[in-house]
């Protein structure tokens, strides 16, 4: 699957809450660290799509992903929950 396929899957998921996560590598005390942050949350699919485009165009060095998330759910019990993998190679 391509990146845009995953974005569409997140935008079109059945769960009402759309979370946008940002992943990037930052310098901290001379070391590189991977950081994943929740940067936007909405119940509006159209607004989520607009924000994804705005963020990606404005910050091309960062990686953004959107997830459909159910409310009142312990996401750690799900087979997959909102996350972005930052590999050792990303930190070199």
pTM of the model: 0.90
3-state secondary structure of 21: strand
Question: Is the pLDDT at 66 greater than 90, yes or no?
Answer: yes
- Euclidean distance between CA atoms 33 and 25, whole angstroms: 6
| Ramachandran area for residue 29 (φ above 0: left; ψ -120 to 50: alpha; else beta) | left
The pLDDT tens digits for 2-51 are 999 999 999 999 999 999 999 999 988 888 999 999 999 999 999 999 99
Q: What DSSP designation does 9 have?
A: H
| Ramachandran area for residue 32 (φ above 0: left; ψ -120 to 50: alpha; else beta) | beta
């Amino acid at each position: 699957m391509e990146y845009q396929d995953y974005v569409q899957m997140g935008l079109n998921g059945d769960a009402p809450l759309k979370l946008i996560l940002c992943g990037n590598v930052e310098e901290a005390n001379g070391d590189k660290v991977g950081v994943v942050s929740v940067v936007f949350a909405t119940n509006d699919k159209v607004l989520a799509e607009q924000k994804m485009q705005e963020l990606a165009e404005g910050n091309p060095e960062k990686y953004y992903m959107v997830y459909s998330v159910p409310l009142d759910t312990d996401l750690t019990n799900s087979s997959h929950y909102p996350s972005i993998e930052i590999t050792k190679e990303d930190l070199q």
